[in-house]
């Protein structure tokens, strides 16, 4: 069963000028996935997360989350999923210390006594909050409040977790520990994760699949490695080869290398050395085949550099005019 299965979801916000936040969004997400929801400011990411976590009812479409109906069982959805919103202060009581906040919420999530205490200690440690356990929420930094909000929502140990910009406001150490926590939740406990981020490198590192939204519509939804190939962006692989005589050099036929488009070559600074550039729309596939060709030809590889397509490139293309159909 798909954890999330929605079709044709639309949402607009009323106002003098009606804002269409989402239009015709379909999404099927299997258990154990980490979905990266990406897109420029105002694309509709937070709106979609609110709908999927039962906080907002869509205006059009239908579907289920964890088997519950999006339109009629939002209350059940809210109880069964965890959500960390960018306004991380929601749910933090300023009259309770950091630890007391978690102690207060534990029974709400069915955690009692020793089990609750251990879980709270573990989350405080994993999020680097041990030193602030007895501090008041007003006296900790914005990033520490974000960590507390994360700890609170992870107390629940739900099978589906929504993280809206979870590493926003965090320092380098905080970012590392939150990324590790997400990976562990997924790998060890099989938790399905939907996250948004504006850090493309983070999405590439964490997510098994990527959904790009722009102006409320889905532009792409593919496994992460496929999304990188999906635009057919061409990048160079540059090789320095020691050949006995540069003048005799015969470059590879690009048609024999998977993903290769064209080749260019010329003599290097050092006598007998050839600089070969292979332009590829799938550097991951081309590189090993190219190395095999080099070895087969009996050349010595003196250097190699690959420029790969990153999510940053895909994002730039899909967020710009080209991505809008
Ligand atoms: N409560 C609201 N009332 C009116 N319009 C809203 C409301 N919330 C969002 N919008 C509008 O809906 C659209 C989608 O907003 P949303 O917050 O879902 O975008 P987002 O992708 O999360 O952006 P960001 O990257 O900035 O967080 C935007 O045009 C936004 O201005
Ligand atoms: Mg948002």
- Tell the residue nearest (CA) to atom 27 of ligand 1: 41
Rounded CA separation 129/110 (Å):
22
pLDDT of 323 strictly over 60: no
Q: Please state whether 114 falls in left (phi above 0), alpha (psi between -120 and 50) or beta.
A: alpha
Rounded to two decimals, the pTM is 0.86
Is 3.30.70 the CATH number for 235-308?
A: yes
CA 17 – ligand 1 centroid, Å: 14
Q: Name the closest ligand to CA 41.
A: 1
pLDDT tops 60 at residue 88:
no
Ligand nearest to the CA of 42: 1
Query: Which ligand has the minimum distance to the alpha carbon of residue 20?
Result: 1
CA distance 85 to 156: 15
244 burial via Cβ count (<10 Å: 0-12, 13-18, 19+): exposed
Atom of ligand 1 nearest to the CA of 40: 25
CB 284 within 8 A of CB 308: yes
Residue 22 CA: nearest ligand 1 atom is 14
Helix axes 113-126, 98-105, angle to 10 degrees: 130
CATH of 2-229, one of 3.40.50.300, 3.90.1640.10, 3.40.640.10, 3.40.50.740: 3.40.50.300
Contact 123, 177 (CB under 8 A): no
Mutate to test the pocket of ligand 1, among 41, 42, 196, 198 (most ligand atoms within 8 A of CB): 42
For the stretch 108-126, pLDDT in tens is: 888 999 999 999 999 999 8
Stretch 42-64: mean pLDDT: 96
The confidence score (pLDDT) of residue 279 equals: 97
pLDDT tens digits, residue range 162-194? 999 999 888 898 899 889 989 999 998 899 999
Question: What does the alpha-carbon distance between residue 49 and residue 141 come to, in Å, rounded to a whole number?
Answer: 26
Of the given ranges (60-74, 243-257, 278-292), which has the lowest mean pLDDT?
243-257
Residue 245 has pLDDT above 80, yes or no: no
Domain ranges of the chain: 2-229, 235-308
Give ligand 1 pocket residues (Cβ under 6 A): 13, 15, 19, 21, 39, 41-47
Q: How far is the CA of 215 from the centre of ligand 1 (A)?
A: 10
* pLDDT at residue 58, as a whole number: 96
Tell me which residue has its CA closest to atom 1 in ligand 1. Answer: 13
Rounded to the nearest angstrom, the distance between the alpha carbon of 46 and the centre of ligand 1 is 7
Residue 322 pLDDT > 50, yes or no? Answer: no
Substitution site in 14, 17, 19, 23 for ligand 1 pocket (most atoms within 8 Å of beta carbon):
19
Using the mean position of ligand 2's atoms as its centre, give its distance from the Cα of residue 66 in Å. 23
- Kindly give the number of the ligand 1 atom that is closest to the alpha carbon of 43: 21
> Ligand 1 mean position to 211 CA, how many Å?
17
Least trusted range by pLDDT, from 83-87, 188-192, 255-259: 83-87
């Amino acid at each position: 069963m798909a954890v999330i299965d929605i079709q044709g979801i639309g949402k607009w916000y009323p106002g003098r000028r009606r804002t269409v936040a989402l239009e015709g969004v379909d999404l099927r997400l299997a258990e154990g996935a980490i979905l990266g929801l990406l897109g420029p400011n105002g694309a509709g990411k937070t709106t979609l997360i609110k709908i999927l976590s039962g906080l907002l009812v869509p205006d059009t479409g239908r579907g289920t989350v964890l088997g519950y109906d999006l339109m009629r069982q939002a209350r059940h959805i809210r109880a069964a999923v965890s959500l960390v919103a960018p306004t991380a202060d929601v749910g933090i009581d300023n009259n309770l210390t950091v630890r007391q906040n978690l102690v207060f919420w534990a029974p709400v999530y069915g955690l009692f006594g020793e089990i609750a205490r251990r879980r709270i200690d573990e989350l405080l440690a994993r999020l680097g909050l041990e030193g602030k356990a007895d501090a008041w929420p007003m006296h900790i930094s914005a990033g520490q409040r974000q960590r507390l909000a994360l700890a609170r929502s992870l107390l629940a140990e739900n099978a589906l977790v929504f993280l809206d910009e979870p590493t926003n406001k965090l320092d380098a150490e905080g970012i590392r520990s939150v990324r590790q926590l997400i990976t562990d939740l997924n790998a060890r406990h099989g938790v399905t994760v939907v996250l948004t981020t504006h850090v493309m490198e983070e999405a590439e590192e964490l997510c098994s699949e990527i959904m790009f939204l722009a102006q409320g519509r889905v532009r792409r939804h593919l496994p992460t490695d496929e999304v990188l190939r999906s635009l057919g962006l061409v990048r160079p692989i540059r090789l320095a080869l020691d050949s006995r005589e540069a003048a005799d050099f015969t470059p590879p036929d690009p048609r024999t290398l998977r993903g290769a488009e064209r080749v260019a070559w010329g003599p290097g600074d050092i006598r007998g050395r050839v600089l070969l550039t292979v332009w590829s729309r799938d550097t991951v596939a081309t590189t090993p085949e190219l190395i095999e060709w080099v070895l087969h030809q009996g050349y010595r590889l003196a250097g190699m550099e690959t420029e790969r397509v990153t999510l940053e490139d895909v994002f730039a293309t899909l967020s710009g005019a080209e991505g809008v159909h």
